[in-house]
Structure 1
Amino acid sequence: MSALLSASADAEIHAPSGALESGIDTADWRAVEDDLGRDGFAVLPALLTPQQCNAIAGYFFEEERFRSRIVMERYAFGRGEYKYFSYPLPDVVGRLRQSLYPHLAPIANRWHTAMKINERFPATHDEFRAVCHAAGQQRPTPLLLRYQANDYCCLHQDLYGDHVFPFQVIFLLNEPGRDFQGGELLLTESNPKQPGRADVVPLRQGDAVVLAVNHRPVRSARGFYRSSLRHGVSRLHSGQRHTLGVIFHDAR
Structure 2
Amino acid sequence: MSRITDAFEDLSHALRVLLEANARAHREGLLQLDRAEAVGNIETALASVLNSFHSLYDAMEKEDQGKLIDWYTTPELVTILALRNARHHNQAKKIRTMYSYYGQEAEKIGRIEMYILVDFPALEEGADTFEVYISWADVRALLALPINVSRIREKSAEAIRNYLSTSKFRSYASEYKLEEDRVFFNVVPLLVNAAIAVVPKIKHLVAQRSTESETFLTLFQHALPADTANHEVNCGPIALMP
- How does the TM-score come out when normalised to structure 2? 0.29
User: Which structure features the higher share of strand residues?
Assistant: 1
Q: Which has the higher contact order (CA 8 A, sep 6+)?
A: 2
Length-normalised TM-score, structure 1: 0.28
- Whichever structure has more helix as a proportion of its residues is 2
